[in-house]
Amino acid sequence: MKRIADSTVRRLSLYLRFLEEFGNGGQVTVSSGELAQRGGTTSAQVRKDLSFFGSFGKRGLGYSVPELAGQLREILGLEREWRVIIVGAGKVGTALAQYGGFSQRGFHIVAVYDKDPAKIGTPWEGLTVRDVAEMSADSARETPDIAVLTVPAGAAQGVVDRLVAAGVPAILNFAPAPINVPPEVALKNVNMALELEGLAYALTNRDANDGAGHR
Protein backbone atom coordinates (compact mmCIF):
# COMPACT_ATOMS: atom_id res chain seq x y z
CA MET A 1 0.00 0.00 0.00
CA LYS A 2 1.00 3.53 -0.73
CA ARG A 3 2.35 5.72 2.02
CA ILE A 4 -0.52 7.73 3.49
CA ALA A 5 0.13 11.23 4.74
CA ASP A 6 -0.16 11.91 8.42
CA SER A 7 -2.60 14.69 7.72
CA THR A 8 -4.83 12.27 5.85
CA VAL A 9 -4.90 9.84 8.78
CA ARG A 10 -5.77 12.68 11.13
CA ARG A 11 -8.68 13.67 8.95
CA LEU A 12 -9.92 10.10 8.75
CA SER A 13 -10.07 10.05 12.55
CA LEU A 14 -12.12 13.20 12.45
CA TYR A 15 -14.46 11.85 9.81
CA LEU A 16 -15.11 8.87 12.04
CA ARG A 17 -16.12 11.19 14.88
CA PHE A 18 -18.42 13.10 12.59
CA LEU A 19 -19.99 9.91 11.32
CA GLU A 20 -20.70 8.89 14.88
CA GLU A 21 -22.31 12.26 15.51
CA PHE A 22 -24.43 12.00 12.39
CA GLY A 23 -25.32 8.43 13.29
CA ASN A 24 -26.41 9.45 16.78
CA GLY A 25 -28.56 12.10 15.18
CA GLY A 26 -30.31 9.32 13.29
CA GLN A 27 -28.80 10.09 9.91
CA VAL A 28 -28.20 7.01 7.76
CA THR A 29 -26.59 8.58 4.73
CA VAL A 30 -24.05 11.35 4.44
CA SER A 31 -22.40 13.16 1.54
CA SER A 32 -18.78 14.15 1.23
CA GLY A 33 -19.99 17.73 1.35
CA GLU A 34 -21.62 17.30 4.73
CA LEU A 35 -18.54 15.66 6.18
CA ALA A 36 -16.41 18.42 4.70
CA GLN A 37 -18.51 21.15 6.20
CA ARG A 38 -18.42 19.52 9.61
CA GLY A 39 -14.67 19.32 9.47
CA GLY A 40 -13.89 22.63 7.82
CA THR A 41 -12.46 21.11 4.68
CA THR A 42 -13.70 20.52 1.14
CA SER A 43 -15.73 17.71 -0.33
CA ALA A 44 -12.94 16.94 -2.77
CA GLN A 45 -10.57 16.50 0.12
CA VAL A 46 -12.91 14.08 1.82
CA ARG A 47 -13.36 12.01 -1.30
CA LYS A 48 -9.65 11.99 -2.05
CA ASP A 49 -8.82 10.89 1.49
CA LEU A 50 -11.24 8.00 1.24
CA SER A 51 -10.14 7.08 -2.25
CA PHE A 52 -6.72 6.01 -0.96
CA PHE A 53 -8.43 3.08 0.70
CA GLY A 54 -11.23 2.16 -1.66
CA SER A 55 -14.57 3.43 -2.80
CA PHE A 56 -17.19 3.37 -0.15
CA GLY A 57 -19.97 5.57 -1.48
CA LYS A 58 -22.87 5.36 -3.88
CA ARG A 59 -22.94 7.95 -6.63
CA GLY A 60 -25.92 10.19 -6.42
CA LEU A 61 -26.54 9.16 -2.83
CA GLY A 62 -23.48 9.52 -0.65
CA TYR A 63 -22.12 7.19 2.03
CA SER A 64 -23.93 4.90 4.41
CA VAL A 65 -23.13 6.29 7.84
CA PRO A 66 -22.68 3.00 9.71
CA GLU A 67 -20.91 1.35 6.81
CA LEU A 68 -18.37 4.09 6.29
CA ALA A 69 -17.83 4.31 10.05
CA GLY A 70 -17.02 0.61 10.05
CA GLN A 71 -14.63 0.99 7.13
CA LEU A 72 -12.84 3.83 8.88
CA ARG A 73 -12.56 1.86 12.10
CA GLU A 74 -10.99 -0.93 10.16
CA ILE A 75 -8.60 1.34 8.30
CA LEU A 76 -7.54 3.05 11.50
CA GLY A 77 -7.15 -0.23 13.36
CA LEU A 78 -9.89 0.51 15.83
CA GLU A 79 -11.70 -2.78 15.51
CA ARG A 80 -9.41 -4.32 18.05
CA GLU A 81 -8.48 -3.48 21.62
CA TRP A 82 -5.18 -1.76 22.24
CA ARG A 83 -3.23 -2.40 25.42
CA VAL A 84 -1.89 0.91 26.66
CA ILE A 85 0.42 1.57 29.58
CA ILE A 86 1.05 4.93 31.18
CA VAL A 87 4.52 5.63 32.44
CA GLY A 88 4.53 8.49 34.92
CA ALA A 89 1.67 8.70 37.42
CA GLY A 90 1.75 12.48 37.68
CA LYS A 91 -0.89 15.02 36.79
CA VAL A 92 -0.65 14.56 33.05
CA GLY A 93 -0.83 10.78 33.29
CA THR A 94 -3.85 11.06 35.57
CA ALA A 95 -5.57 13.54 33.30
CA LEU A 96 -5.10 11.17 30.37
CA ALA A 97 -6.41 8.22 32.35
CA GLN A 98 -9.58 10.12 33.21
CA TYR A 99 -10.13 11.25 29.70
CA GLY A 100 -13.02 9.14 28.43
CA GLY A 101 -12.08 9.39 24.78
CA PHE A 102 -9.56 6.60 25.10
CA SER A 103 -11.49 3.63 26.39
CA GLN A 104 -14.32 4.64 24.11
CA ARG A 105 -12.06 3.89 21.14
CA GLY A 106 -10.66 0.65 22.42
CA PHE A 107 -7.56 1.99 24.10
CA HIS A 108 -7.37 0.16 27.42
CA ILE A 109 -5.03 1.29 30.11
CA VAL A 110 -3.65 -1.93 31.50
CA ALA A 111 -0.91 -0.61 33.78
CA VAL A 112 0.63 2.51 35.28
CA TYR A 113 4.23 2.87 36.30
CA ASP A 114 6.13 5.39 38.35
CA LYS A 115 9.55 5.68 39.93
CA ASP A 116 8.46 7.46 43.09
CA PRO A 117 8.32 4.98 46.01
CA ALA A 118 5.61 7.12 47.59
CA LYS A 119 3.35 6.44 44.63
CA ILE A 120 4.19 2.80 43.99
CA GLY A 121 1.49 0.54 45.35
CA THR A 122 -1.12 3.26 45.69
CA PRO A 123 -4.46 2.91 43.92
CA TRP A 124 -4.81 4.89 40.73
CA GLU A 125 -7.87 5.07 38.54
CA GLY A 126 -8.83 1.48 39.27
CA LEU A 127 -5.27 0.21 38.93
CA THR A 128 -2.30 0.09 41.27
CA VAL A 129 0.80 2.09 40.50
CA ARG A 130 3.68 -0.24 39.76
CA ASP A 131 7.41 0.22 39.95
CA VAL A 132 9.03 1.12 36.63
CA ALA A 133 11.63 -1.49 37.45
CA GLU A 134 8.96 -4.13 36.91
CA MET A 135 8.09 -2.86 33.47
CA SER A 136 10.36 -5.19 31.54
CA ALA A 137 9.21 -8.26 33.43
CA ASP A 138 5.56 -7.29 32.98
CA SER A 139 6.07 -6.65 29.28
CA ALA A 140 7.74 -10.01 28.83
CA ARG A 141 4.55 -11.58 30.11
CA GLU A 142 2.22 -9.48 28.00
CA THR A 143 3.66 -6.75 25.83
CA PRO A 144 1.62 -3.58 25.69
CA ASP A 145 0.85 -2.08 22.29
CA ILE A 146 1.39 1.54 23.16
CA ALA A 147 3.20 3.32 25.97
CA VAL A 148 2.16 6.82 26.94
CA LEU A 149 5.10 8.66 28.40
CA THR A 150 4.27 11.29 31.01
CA VAL A 151 7.50 11.48 32.96
CA PRO A 152 9.66 14.59 33.49
CA ALA A 153 11.87 15.58 30.57
CA GLY A 154 15.05 14.43 32.27
CA ALA A 155 13.80 10.90 32.73
CA ALA A 156 12.30 10.49 29.28
CA GLN A 157 15.12 8.99 27.24
CA GLY A 158 16.05 6.50 29.94
CA VAL A 159 12.49 5.23 30.18
CA VAL A 160 12.20 5.10 26.41
CA ASP A 161 15.27 2.92 26.16
CA ARG A 162 13.69 0.49 28.58
CA LEU A 163 10.42 0.52 26.69
CA VAL A 164 12.19 -0.20 23.44
CA ALA A 165 14.22 -2.98 25.04
CA ALA A 166 10.98 -4.45 26.37
CA GLY A 167 9.61 -4.56 22.83
CA VAL A 168 6.96 -1.88 23.08
CA PRO A 169 6.17 -1.01 19.44
CA ALA A 170 4.70 2.48 19.83
CA ILE A 171 5.25 5.45 22.12
CA LEU A 172 3.22 8.59 22.65
CA ASN A 173 5.57 11.08 24.25
CA PHE A 174 4.23 13.89 26.41
CA ALA A 175 7.59 14.66 27.99
CA PRO A 176 8.90 17.98 26.70
CA ALA A 177 12.13 16.40 25.48
CA PRO A 178 13.01 15.08 22.05
CA ILE A 179 13.64 11.36 22.30
CA ASN A 180 15.28 8.81 20.05
CA VAL A 181 13.89 5.45 19.10
CA PRO A 182 14.93 2.91 16.48
CA PRO A 183 13.03 3.25 13.23
CA GLU A 184 10.78 0.25 13.80
CA VAL A 185 9.21 1.91 16.83
CA ALA A 186 6.37 4.33 16.07
CA LEU A 187 6.66 7.59 17.93
CA LYS A 188 4.47 10.63 18.29
CA ASN A 189 5.33 13.68 20.28
CA VAL A 190 2.80 15.93 21.92
CA ASN A 191 4.20 19.14 23.27
CA MET A 192 1.72 21.51 24.73
CA ALA A 193 4.18 24.38 25.06
CA LEU A 194 4.77 24.15 21.32
CA GLU A 195 1.10 24.75 20.63
CA LEU A 196 1.06 27.81 22.85
CA GLU A 197 4.13 29.15 21.10
CA GLY A 198 2.37 28.71 17.80
CA LEU A 199 -0.41 30.92 19.09
CA ALA A 200 2.08 33.46 20.37
CA TYR A 201 3.60 33.58 16.90
CA ALA A 202 0.18 33.97 15.30
CA LEU A 203 -0.71 36.82 17.64
CA THR A 204 2.62 38.53 17.16
CA ASN A 205 2.39 38.38 13.39
CA ARG A 206 -1.32 38.70 13.31
CA ASP A 207 -1.60 41.45 10.74
CA ALA A 208 0.51 39.54 8.29
CA ASN A 209 -0.95 36.15 8.80
CA ASP A 210 -4.51 36.83 9.79
CA GLY A 211 -6.29 34.50 12.11
CA ALA A 212 -5.39 30.97 11.45
CA GLY A 213 -3.43 28.36 13.10
CA HIS A 214 -3.82 24.71 12.59
CA ARG A 215 -7.53 24.14 12.79
Partner DNA sequence: ATTACTTTGTGAACAATTTCACAAGCCCTC
Partner DNA sequence: GAGGGCTTGTGAAATTGTTCACAAAGTAAT
Residue 28 is a binding residue for DNA (CB under 7 A): no
- Measured CA to CA, the distance from residue 42 to residue 31 in angstroms comes to 11
- Measured CA to CA, the distance from residue 33 to residue 38 in angstroms comes to 9
- Measured CA to CA, the distance from residue 56 to residue 191 in angstroms comes to 35
From the list 25, 17, 22, 9, the residue with the least C-alpha distance to 64 is: 22
Q: Which does 205 bind (CB under 5 to 8 A by kind): DNA, a second copy, none?
A: a second copy
User: Distance from first CA to last CA of the chain, Å, rounded?
Assistant: 28
Residues 128-157 that bind DNA (CB under 7 A): none
Tell me which of 83, 105, 108, 119 binds a second copy, using CB under 8 A.
105
Number of residues that bind a second copy (CB under 8 A): 73
Residue 195 is a binding residue for a second copy (CB under 8 A): yes
Instruction: Choose the binding region for a second copy from 24-32, 113-121, 126-134, 180-188 (rule: CB under 8 A).
Output: 180-188
Q: How far is CA 3 from CA 8, 11, 48, 185, in A?
A: 10, 15, 14, 17
Those residues with Cβ within 8 angstroms of residue 121's Cβ, 6 or more apart along the chain or in another chain: 128, 129
- Measured CA to CA, the distance from residue 97 to residue 88 in angstroms comes to 11
Tell me which of 42, 51, 77, 116 binds a second copy, using CB under 8 A.
77
Minimum CB separation from DNA for residue 125, in Å? 36
Q: How far is CA 60 from CA 33, 64, 147, in A?
A: 12, 12, 44
Q: How far is CA 108 from CA 12, 58, 97, 144, in A?
A: 21, 35, 10, 10
Tell me which of 17, 23, 43, 90 binds DNA, using CB under 7 A.
43
Minimum CB separation from a second copy for residue 99, in Å? 6
Residues 52-71 that bind DNA (CB under 7 A): 55-63
Residue 31 is a binding residue for DNA (CB under 7 A): yes
Residue 166 is a binding residue for a second copy (CB under 8 A): no
Minimum CB separation from DNA for residue 70, in Å? 15
Residue 118 is a binding residue for a second copy (CB under 8 A): no
Residue 127 is a binding residue for a second copy (CB under 8 A): no
Residue 136's H or E segment, with its range, is helix 135-141
In the complex with a second copy, which residue's Cβ is closer, 133 or 201?
201
Given the rule CB under 7 A, which residues bind DNA?
3, 5-8, 31-33, 41-45, 47-48, 50-51, 55-63
